[in-house]
Amino acid sequence: MATVQPLKSAIDRQPEQLMLIDGERVHAASGRTINVFDPSTGRLIGTVPDGAQADIERAVDAATRAFRGPAWSGLSGQARARILWRMADLMEQNIEELAYLESLNCGMIVPMAQGMVQFSAELYRYYAGWCTKIYGLTTEIGAAPSQFHAYTLREPVGVCGFITPWNVPISLMCLKMAPALAAGCTAVIKPAEETPLTALFK
């Protein structure tokens, strides 16, 4: 228990979590918040912003700029792969804190939560491998003597919007995020109101 106590203290010191939009931690435009509870005790453990349409529009605008800008769309598959591997490494470095937070927020036991965090890190590593393997197709079409060489390109579609459920929230979030990022998309995540804390972990 001693290994996870520092996170409990951190939650007590900073019970209000903020959204991450355009690289900044922000409140909801309305100023409203949602209470977050420990389901095993019913204890209030924090608050999160009550995001609404204005916040969604701001997040989508930021994700669109990131998608179109050279900092993301100009990246090679190899560069995206390194970012996903870095995500996995950071999750493993913070596995005890993330597992405790997941346990506190959704009620699963800590060992199971640790397994879910490890699984989530491996999702990023798995999809990092796909960053350099997203190919189009080439084929010969037509009938002689009119043969044509045709090819297709696979391109990212843009901003992906994801809504995640309350159960095993960290794994379900990563299961959506990792392939989207691997393909070169950007994303806006809306976690469940009941279990948003690992999505907002910093």
In a domain, 199, yes or no: no
Evaluate the omega torsion of the peptide bond into residue 145 and state whether it is cis, within 30 degrees of 0: yes
pLDDT of 119: 97
| Residue 196 counted as domain residue | no
At residue 153 the predicted structure's pLDDT band, cuts being 50, 70 and 90, is confident
Contact predicate 164/189, CB 8 Å:
yes
Q: Kindly state whether residue 151 falls inside one of the protein's structural domains.
A: yes
Q: Yes or no: say if 23 and 61 are a contact pair by the CB < 8 Å rule.
A: no
Which structure tokens are listed for 103? 């346990």
CA distance readout (Å), 99 to 40, 44, 109, 113, 194: 15, 19, 9, 5, 16
Q: What is the mean pLDDT of the chain?
A: 90
Instruction: Report the CATH number that the domain containing residue 20 is assigned in CATH.
Output: 3.40.605.10
pLDDT at 9 over 60: no
Decide if 133 is inside a domain: yes
Instruction: Count the domains in the chain.
Output: 1
Residue numbers of the domain that contains 68: 5-190
Percent residues over pLDDT 90 in the chain = 73
